[in-house]
Amino acid sequence: MTRLRSLLLETGRYGTDPKFERLGDAQRGAPEEAMLVVQKAQVSQLYGSAAEHIGDLTNRMCQVGLFDWSYDATAEKVTKTLRWVSHGYGFEKDVREQIANNFTYYHEKGRPLGPEWVSIENITAHFHHLCNTYADAHRALPTFNHVTKLGQLAAISLGQWRFADTMMALRELKAILDKGKAAWAVAVSENTTEHIDV
């Protein structure tokens, strides 16, 4: 056990409330299922990857028995997805181009397609519906502090195609993570009921 983890357990600042572990487990339910539907649709692989890693933030933050791993895994996912959504080319532009390219490719290759693939507009509307289901699944999760709320905001805003809000939430999480493990331990273990509009 690391000295930091030992200190956190002794002081009760992290891992003493089982609701954090229940929240991490809950992310593996409806939110994870909604993400898998988004990915399985193969409409935009970039978006599907972002949905997977941003959605996982809640789970990673709440791994109360594995603090060092949790910190590292959360930091890695935040850094990677922030790079994707803030890339100069434009995340939404890239996703829309991927939708158009996949539409053309699937039709040219004769891939078996559902009725939603009749036009780019139709598949985009269908994809938005899948993304909103993902957002709704994340909205249903409880949050207990500022960082779990930011993780939720990142997932909801991604699902609603409000990518500037996704970027803002990820940047704020990264700023907290960049302060180091001790600061993150305090932030992730706070137990409040603060409200952030999503």
The confidence band for 1, taking pLDDT boundaries of 50, 70 and 90, is very low
Close Cβ partners of 124 (under 8 Å, ≥ 6 residues apart): 43, 96, 99
Crossing angle (nearest 10°) for helices 67-85 and 3-11: 100
Q: What is the pTM of this model?
A: 0.86
What backbone phi and psi angles, to 5 degrees, belong to 195? -115, 130
Domain total in the chain = 1
Classify residue 195: in a domain, yes or no: no
Classify residue 49: in a domain, yes or no: yes
Close Cβ partners of 82 (under 8 Å, ≥ 6 residues apart): 167, 170, 171, 174
Given a cut of 80, whether residue 195 has pLDDT beyond it is no
Classify residue 33: in a domain, yes or no: yes
Classify residue 194: in a domain, yes or no: no
Classify residue 150: in a domain, yes or no: yes
pLDDT attached to residue 63? 73
pLDDT attached to residue 16? 53
Classify residue 65: in a domain, yes or no: yes
Per DSSP, the three-state class of 87 is coil
Chain segment 111-156, per-residue pLDDT in tens = 767 888 899 999 999 999 999 999 999 999 888 889 989 999 999 9
Classify residue 197: in a domain, yes or no: no
Print the domain residue range for 150: 3-189
Classify residue 198: in a domain, yes or no: no
Query: How many residues appear in the chain?
Result: 198
